[in-house]
Each structure stands twice: as C-alpha cells, then as structure tokens.
Structure 1
Amino acid sequence: MSTLWAFPGQGAQQPGMLQVLPDAPVVQACIEQASAALGEDVRLLDSAEALQSTRAVQLCLLVAGVAASRLLSERGHRPDYVAGLSIGAYAAAVVAGALDFADAVRLVALRGELMQRAYPSGYGMTAILGLDQASVERLLGEVDGPVYLGNINAETQLVIAGSDAAMAAVAERARALGAGGTKRLAISVPSHCALLDGSARALAEAFSGVELRTPRVRYLSSSSARLIRDPQTLRDDLAYNMSRVVDWQATLVTAYERGVRLHLELPPGGVLSGLARRIFDAGQAIAFEGARLDTLDAMLRQEVSRDR
C-alpha cells in the first residue's frame, strides 16, 4: 500500500497559517529560505488583511505545504505519490524534487500577481453542492456572461468560475433545481477556466528560464489526473493549471487505483481529507493540521511496514 501527500488550493487559507506551523528548525529554515527568495518576510503575508491578496494567499499555501513536508521528511517519512489542487501543485512539485523551492516561490509570486492583475475585482469562484456535472454544465449554458466549470471536487461537488453576476445567476438556478447549497468561495479570481488563458501564457514564458527535473516521487496532475514524469510535460502542467479545469475527483480515483491507501493532507485545513474519504473507503484520509506529530509518525510508519 502507498501514501499520497496532497496539497490544498486557494480557499484553504487561514489567518496565521504560517504562525501555527510547528516551531521546528526545519520549518523556520523553510520560511527563511522563502523570504530570501522573495526579498520580503513571508511571515507578514498570513494576516487577515494580507490574505486579501491572491499573491499572498498562494505564497502562504506554498510555504506551509513545503515546510510541513520537510518536517515529516526530517522525521523519516517520504510519500509514494504527491498531488496538489491548483496552487498546491507547486508544493507537490517541490516535494517531488522536480522544482527548486526558491524557483517555486518566485513563480508563485508572479502567478498570483498575474491572476490578481487580470481580475482585480468582480470575479471569483462559487461551489455548487448536490448537482451532478451534466446539470451544472447545462445551467452554465443558460446564463449570459462569463462563467465556466472550474473544479470537479466530487460527483456532486463542483465549482464554477466567472463574474460575480454570472455566478449568482447560475447559483440561483442551481438552488431552484434542487442543489443542496451554493457558496461563494474565498477566491477573488476566476481560476481554472479560459478567462486566465492570457495569464497562463505569461507564466509559461517565465517558466522557460526555470530548470525542472524528473520527479523523484510520483507526481499526479490534478488537471489530467495522470502521472507526469517528463519535465517538459510538468512545466506545461504547472504553468497552465490556472486556466485548466481541476479534476480532483479523478486524481483521487487514480491514486486509489494505483494502490494508495493513506491520504495525508498537508496544511492548511482539512477539506481535501473529507473529499478523499469518499474515495478511500478501504483506506485512511488524515490531515496534518490538528494531528499530533507522534500520531502521524505512527500512521506513516504503519503504511511503510505494510508495504514491506
């Protein structure tokens, strides 16, 4: 049996998310390394006010995921697979050994700036609960204005992206159709749709000067739900994932079919663990946040002993 380390995307951020990481030297060294690459103190980016910025959110998610992973690695643990939802893919690529952390910090800062600059206000993402994909796509076709399918998180948990007005119209129709709920997410840009094609192309240009290596840990793309080994394919996956639909459900199914039975969600939050429990019915899904390190040690070692 294998383990998957999963890294959350935008919407999982929490004020103080870097401050609550374990006070370990390897964690502090990671924060210092990110600050040096960025030329500013990343500890100042996780306040409630700072997290109004897409750039700050994405940087904090990257740092939190990599710092927690390095702490686990120092304690003798290593994933069999990594995957990240949207911005989480950058932490996954770093942990897989395919992308240098300093390069990831600079690329993520640019990514956030490009997305924020393209849509400073009036756009975002909304979750639709209780309707299947076909129903949601039909509603998208009935509404005037820019709105697209963005995330497939579960069979009946989908996320749309677009203008506030168009999303509100879809949400109203979804509730009338019997949706269990709709929720405007804490995301201020329309991610994972054609509205970000131009920003993705600009980021791809920046990627051209960055070295990527063959992952040392198996990397699952949350866009294609496939394993990526080739550095050029990985470069494309990372640069363009902001404008491609996230199929997290299919990514989890792929992991499960490949023998993964322990899903570990790196910080912050626990939303991905809830989604994984729907798929990992014969396995376990846990979150780093809120768990004792000795408990995580025991669970991860148990999986290693089973593999042997």
Structure 2
Amino acid sequence: MSTAFLFPGQGSQQPFMLNNLPVHPEVKRTLDEASEVLNESVYQWDAPVRLESTVASQVCLLVSGVAAARLMIKEKAVPGYVAGHSVGTFGAAVISGVLDFKDAVRLVRKRGELMESAFPEGYGMAVVLGLTETKVRQLLQNFAEEDKYIYLANMNGPRQITIAGSLNELEEFTKLSLKNNAQRAELLEVSVPSHCPLLSDVSISLEAELERLALRKPVIPFAGNRRGRILRTSEAIKGDLAWNVSQSVKWHEATSLLYELGVRLFIEMPPGNVLTGLVNQSFPAARGLSISDSGPHTAAVLAHRLNN
C-alpha cells in the first residue's frame, strides 16, 4: 500500500492561507523563496482583496502546497505518487522533482496573468452535482444545437462535473440541469473559463515558456490531469502543465488509477479539503485526509504506519 500527495486547484484558496501554515523551517524556506521571485513578501498575497485575483490565488495555492509537502517530506513522510488538480499540477511537479520551485512560481504567475487577460469579465465556471458525465454531455449537446457553447471542464467524481463558458449561458445551463434532476447546480467563485478550448492561446504561451526550462525526470510518479494516467517523463509532464488549462481535467480517472496502483492514503495539501471529500466519497476502502483539518503531524504518523 502507498500514499499520494494531492495538490488542490483554484477555488480552494482561503484568506490568510499562507500566514496560517504551520510554523516550520521548510515552510519559511518555501515562502522566502517565493518572495524572492515575486520581489515582495508573499505573506501579503493571501489577503482577502488580493485573492480576488486569479494570479494571487494560483500563486498562493502553489506556495501553500509545496510548503506543506516539503514539511511532510522533512518529517520522512515521502509519497509514492503525486497528483495536482489544475494549477495544483505545478506543486505536484515540484515535489515530483521535475520542476524547480522558483521556476514554478514564475510560471504560475504568468499562467494567472494570461488567464485573467484572456477573459477579464463575463466568463466563469459552474458545478453540477448528481448527474453522470453522460447525462451532462447530452445536455451540453442540446445546448450546442441552440448555438450556445459551454464546455465540460472537470470530471471530479462520478456525479460531480464542472462546466465552463459565459456566465449568462452557465446560469441558463444550471437551471436546465436542475430541471433534469441535478442535486445541485451553481456558479463557482472562478472568474475565468478554465479547462476548455477558450484558453487554448494560454496553453500555447505556457508551452513556449516551458520549452525554455530544463525539466528533470520525475523521482516520484506523477498522475496527470488530461488523460488520468501516470506520467513518467519530463516531456509528458511538460505537456500536462501547459495544456491542462485548456483541456478537461480527468480527476476521477487519475485518483481511480492511484487507487488501483495501491494508494490507500490520500493526503491533501492545504488549504481546504475538497479533494479529501472526493476521495472519501469514491473510495471507501481508502482514507483521504487534509492537512488543513488534521494537521501535518497526524498526516505524517499515518503515512509512516502505512509505508512501514
């Protein structure tokens, strides 16, 4: 049996998430490195008004995830696998050994800037709970026949799907979903239409940025977003980092594969517990826990027990 570290994506950000991280030398080192790249204290980036920005939200998620993972590894809780949801892939790539952390900070800041400038207003995402992927695709097809275009974005669980597009059409689609027996359908606190073809130009720019970097072979296997498969080369991970922003995230496929490979403890890096909830709903024989809820000490103890 094995352990996987999970790195959350945008939507999990919380006010003061960096300032509330555990006091630990690895945490301080990580935040200091980020501040050096940003040329200002990253401790100021997690204020509520700053987190209204896609750029700040994504940078803080990266920094928080890497800081917590480094703390865990320092406590000798080393994962067998890593996986990140959306921007969380960058934290996963750092911990897998593929990407230098300072390069990741630069890339994630650039990613956020490109996403904000591509669709500054009028677009976003929504979540639909209680309908299967097949049913959501059917409803999307009916929508397209009326020349309304929104896109399937994330397959987070068997009956948790997110969609992306213009706010007006997303609101109309949530009403349609509820009429078709969705348990819940509502807009998310996300200001860009992530994980759909509308952001293809962002992916092209990120790919060019990544081409300038010397990525390394992963030392910890990395579960990718786009195909829900284990990626074992730097080239494959580079493609996932660049293109997951404009392609659907197959999160449930990725975590299902990790389960099939023997992962029985999924530890979610801070902040929040969204990914933990998905694990516990989908895999009753496994355990998901978040460092935000349980603390790093409990997570490390459980990882030691499982791995020994």
Please state which band the TM-score falls in when normalised by the shorter chain. Answer: over 0.9
Shift of 1:183: 2.1
Give the superposition deviation at 1:274. Answer: 0.7
- Where 1:274 maps in the other structure, the secondary structure is helix
Match of 1:11 in 2: 11
Cα displacement string for residues 191-229 of structure 1 (whole angstroms, at most 9, x for unaligned residues): 000000011101111111011111000100022111111
CA positional deviation for 1:297:
2.5
Structure 1 counterpart of 2:62: 62
> What is the root-mean-square deviation of aligned Cα atoms in Å?
1.0
Query: Where do 5+ consecutive residues of structure 1 fail to align?
Result: none
Q: Deviations over 1:88-117 (max 9, x none)?
A: 000000001110000000000000000000
More divergent stretch after superposition (257-266 vs 31-40): 31-40
Distance 1:258 1:278 in 2: 18
Partner of 1:150: 153
Whether the 8 Å contact between 2:267 and 2:299 is mirrored in structure 1 is: no
Partner Cα distance (1:294, 1:82) in 2: 19
AA aligned opposite 1:8? P
Residues 1:137 and 2:137 are matched in the alignment: yes
Q: SS of the residue aligned with 1:290? A: helix
The partner residue of 2:238 within 210, 218, 235 is 235
- Of 201, 205, 211, 1:202 maps to 205
2:297 aligned partner, one-letter code: D
Unaligned runs of 5+ in 2: none
Aligned to 1:96: 96
2:230 aligned with 1:223, yes or no? no
In the other structure, the counterpart of 2:125 is 125
What is the aligned partner in structure 1 of residue 35 from structure 2? 35
What is the DSSP-based 3-state SS (H/G/I as helix, E as strand, rest coil) of the residue aligned with 1:292? Answer: helix
> What residue identity is the alignment partner of 1:171?
T
For 1:214 and 1:108, locate their aligned partners in 2 and report how far apart those are by CA, in whole Å.
20
1:105 lines up with 2:126 in the alignment: no
Question: Which deviations, in whole Å up to 9, do the C-alpha atoms of 1:125-146 show, x marking residues without a partner?
Answer: 1000111112111221223433
Aligned length: 305
Distance 1:265 1:294 in 2: 13
1:249 aligned to 2:252?
Answer: yes
TM-score when scaled to structure 2? Answer: 0.97
- The answer as to 2:20 corresponding to 1:20 is yes
The amino acid across from 1:7 in the alignment is: F
Q: Give yes or no for contact 1:61–1:88 (8 Å, CA) kept in 2.
A: yes
* Percent of paired sites with the same residue: 41
Amino acid at match of 1:292: G
| Structure 2: distance between partners of 1:234 and 1:68 | 22
Counterparts of 1:292 and 1:51, CA distance in 2: 23
For the residue of structure 2 that corresponds to 1:242, the secondary structure is coil
Q: Can you list the C-alpha shifts for 1:152-198, whole angstroms capped at 9, x where unaligned?
A: 01111100000001111111100111110112111110000000001
Partner SS state of residue 291, structure 1: helix
Alignment match, 1:78:
78
AA aligned to 1:240 is W
**2: distance between equivalents of 1:234 and 1:291?**
30
Question: Partners in 2 of 1:167 and 1:209 — Cα distance?
Answer: 37
Structure 2 counterpart SS, 1:48: coil
Q: Per-residue displacement from partner, 1:8-36 (whole Å, max 9, x unpaired)?
A: 00000101110110011211110010111
Moved more, 105-114 or 70-79: 70-79
**SS at the partner of 1:300?**
helix
Runs of 4+ in structure 1 over 3 Å off: none
SS of 1:78's partner is coil
Contact kept, 8 Å, 1:256 with 1:279, in 2: the verdict is: no
Q: Tell me, yes or no, if the aligned pair for 1:252 and 1:279 is still in contact at 8 Å.
A: no
The residue aligned with 1:185 is 188
Cα distance in 1 for residues equivalent to 2:192 and 2:296: 35
